[in-house]
């Protein structure tokens, strides 16, 4: 399954009401490290079926970025049952991201 674009309009349905853990990628088109992480996030979305993967453009979804207290990007957050259980800032390897999901 490919990554879902998350907005304030579909956040409740796609993230809070998700029956699977959700990996959120907070990114922006001008962010170099975000461009490095994006293909890894897409790979994980295509390979790991026990989670949902969402991408949030911080320029377009400033309210969501503020709610998650995103100060630097890329920021990755793992949501389970509507609660943030893991958060990481900066470019991460695929192994690091998969480890976030495993715990």
The catalytic residue positions are 31, 34
- Residue 35 CA to residue 47 CA, distance in Å, equals 19
Strands 75-80 and 83-89: antiparallel
Nearest by Cα to 75 from 34, 45, 14: 34
33 touches 73 (CB < 8 A): yes
């Amino acid at each position: 399954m490919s990554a879902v674009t998350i907005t304030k309009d579909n956040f409740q349905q796609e993230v809070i009401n998700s029956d699977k853990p959700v990996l959120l990628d907070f990114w922006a088109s001008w962010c170099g490290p975000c461009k490095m992480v994006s293909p890894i996030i897409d790979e994980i979305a295509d390979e790991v079926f026990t989670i949902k993967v969402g991408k949030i453009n911080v320029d377009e979804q400033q309210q969501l970025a503020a709610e998650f207290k995103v100060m630097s990007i890329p920021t990755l957050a793992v949501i389970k049952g509507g609660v943030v259980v893991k958060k990481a800032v900066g470019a991460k390897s695929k192994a690091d991201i998969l480890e976030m999901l495993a715990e």
